[in-house]
Structure 1
Amino acid sequence: MTETNLRILLARRPNGAPVPEDFAIEEAPRPEPKDGYVLVRHRFLSLDPYMRGRMSEAKSYAKPVAIGGVMEGACVGHVVESRDPGFSPGDAVLGGFGWQRFSAVPAARLIRLDEAEAPLSANLGVLGMPGLTAWTGLEDIGQPKPGETVVVSAASGAVGQVAGQIAKRRGARVVGIAGGAEKCAFVTGTLGFDACIDHRGDLEAQLDAACPEGIDVYWENVGGAVQAAVFPRLRDFGRMVMCGMISQYNEAPGADASGAPPGPNLGPVVRKRLRIQGFIVSDTGWPRYGKFRAEMLGWMRDGLVWREDVVQGLAQAPAAFIGLLSGRNFGKLVVKID
């Protein structure tokens, strides 16, 4: 019997933090690939903070998901049917698309995977977009040097855990910021950061203790009060890699309910000759994916580690995503498709 295509749709645009009623679940016919396309049966779905932006109509670098459309997300899986000579049934691939069981995608968008290199789900995290994001942001903007101090917010998350380990391999001293004793213990004991700060405590005092000479590179995943505490401690010629601002994703444009002051006085940017730069990984990262993957696989063989938070069943994706935006996940969040 042919499987149907279980799908998670955007039912309405959230007002603030998403709630279960913003999503809808449906069973649809399995898509049919046309010439040059491949039908992929998804095994794992990636859940990432950027998806909150796709639920909004606010102006952004990418189009929002349409009401009634399938929620956006990267998947890994296996080829079921191919209308392209480059792929055959059974091939493992990165490039399936959407919160759904199947997708028919252009063969040119797929990356063939060797399941002997790493677990399939790792290609959505350490070897996927989050890992590539960490690598690209440090290569192009952060550029940590031996002996410098690098601070990484959301250090136990999908991007932060990789960014900190790469910075260590570049010779830097790395301080993480995470939420709670368990996550901080993981950041220092498993990931190998030099120190970790619990953002639920006195951030300023902890930063002064962990970074007595100041901060050379700040990897920004959070924004809000964390950013406000780090910014004054950047040293001359410091770099701030603007990757994400998850504390503010649920706010209306122009609002700030994060608990931070209205915004830092940017005068020190001139005096300290600071570099503050945002980036989107699709701009320059994916064209260098081969170089990134080769370097990352070498580091993984040499001890680079990662943690996944695996949710069982596609129907649980909305609840898991809502939890992601409030920091309930621990590691890279993926859904194992039922």
Structure 2
Amino acid sequence: MTWLVTGGAGYIGAHVVRAFQDEGIGVVALDDLSSGHREFVPAAVPFVEGTILDTGLFRRTLDAHQVVGVVHLAGFKYAGVSVQRPLHTYEQNVTGTVSVLQAMQDAGVDKMVFSSSAATFGTPTTDLVTEASPTRPESPYGESKLIGEWLLRDQATATGLRHTSLRYFNVVGSGSTEVYDSSPHNLFPLVIEALLEGRTPRINGDDYDTPDGTCVRDYIHVADLAVSHVSAARALSAGTPLEPVYNLGSGEGLSVRQIMEAMARGTGVDFTPEIHARRPGDPDRIVASGDLAARDIDWRMRHTIDEMVTSAWEARRAHLDPTAQES
């Protein structure tokens, strides 16, 4: 039994690949390396460099490795940038998903775990988001992920595809020093890069309607996320009924100021963050319940915020240029 992970050389994808390895399940990674890193994929894992838009390549990969299911993580994930690049976002996330589903249909592969996003919710109207909360995406990225969920639903009706979609918020930390988050947009790498370069991290807005005035969000450890992707794949392989959508949420959330305090503790770098103006469109609080996922796909918060910070810091430092570290 072999599963294919699209985006398998990315930060999240590489952790999912390792989680399959840990469970003794065969896995192959496909990635176009537009944001992933070849060295993130373990040497023992077959790697195919290519785009999900190449339906023929995808079909040949499925056949060559006798793939039984796909974990679909590949896509363009930057919500803010998607507003400036809507056509690119839809091509990668919608046309790309159509390509993957077409290749799967042609190859007779009938199982998919889809990496969706909490961006499908837009700005919540309740303190705690559940799977029943209304979806009102506010960016091309969020819209494209919701369309991806619809594509799976419709393909299931047409062909019997077995599937589930996992929605989540801020993925942080590292399960291996060989993999780190290299995104230029995510909070953890932004803070870590600032500290490594001797700059002061910044908070965008401290006048929100929250206990300490800064935005509250879900922060979940990437290794915990990876475990639930594999658990979902196992359930689909076993024919276990799953919900069409699961939220991988903390149920509580953390504020940006709490993240900054944890960063100071975990890195050993004492700093006082600079306060800047709010960013347009940032809601006060977005936190999801993970109860359904805990019931069905082994979801739980196994790491504290300090462990999230420490693992992220150690993984990033492991990839520093040794000559730069000496200077």
Task: Verify same fold: TM over 0.5.
Answer: no
* TM band (smaller chain): 0.3 to 0.5
Q: Which has the higher strand share?
A: 1
Q: Which has the higher helix share?
A: 2
